[in-house]
Amino acid sequence: MLADPNFDRTIVLMIEDSEEGSAGLVLNRPSELAVTEALPDFGERVAAPAVVFVGGPVSQNTAIGLARSADTEGAEGWQQVMGDVGTFNMAAAEVGPPEGITDLRVFAGYAGWGPGQLEGEISAGAWLVVDADVGDVLSSDPLDLWRSVLKRQRGTASWLANYPADLNAN
C-alpha cells in the first residue's frame, strides 16, 4: 500500500514514539558491509550476522546500535527498548562498547515519521501492527524474519507469510 521499496516486506522495531514523531529500525535488511570494516573496535561483541544493517531511509550516514545489556538499569550509552535489548549510542563509544553490552547490531539510518504520519498510515491499512518479540530483534536469520513474524500471527495476517515476494517471478 505504501509503494515504497524501503519498506517492502520489512519488520520495523519502534524505538521512539512521541508527539514530535516516531522512529524505528528495519530489522531484516542486512547489508554486505562487515561491521569490522566500518567499526574495527566493535567486532568482538557483534551479533551474527556481523554486518551493518540498513535501518531505514533517514540519515543513513548515522549509526544506531541495538544491543543486549546484562544490566537493564543501563550500561553507559544504552537505553532499554524491550527486555534486555536497547539502543546503544554508537557515538559515545570511542573504542568499542562498554562492559555489559553484548550482541550488538549496527544499523545505518532509521525509519522516521513526522507527528501523526505513522498513525495515519496505520489507519489507512499500510502497516500490520504486531507485538514485538525480543527474539526477533537480534535474529540470526534476518532474511526469514518477515515470514517467521507473520507466520506466528493469528488469523488472516498469518496467511501473508506465504505470499509470493514477486508475483511476476517464474
Q: For 134-141, what is the mean pLDDT?
A: 93
Distance CA 143, CA 27 (A): 9
| Average pLDDT value over all residues in the chain | 89
Who has greater pLDDT, 119 or 101?
119
Q: What is the DSSP letter of 75?
A: -
Which uninterrupted H or E stretch holds 150?
helix 145-151
pLDDT tens for residues 33-85? 999 998 888 877 899 999 999 999 999 999 999 999 887 676 778 899 998 99
pTM for the predicted model, two decimal places: 0.91
Q: For 134-143, what is the mean pLDDT?
A: 94
CATH topology of domain 5-139: VC0467-like (3.40.1740)
Residue 145 pLDDT: 96
Q: For 14-30, what is the mean pLDDT?
A: 96
Phi/psi at 80 (5° precision): -60, 135
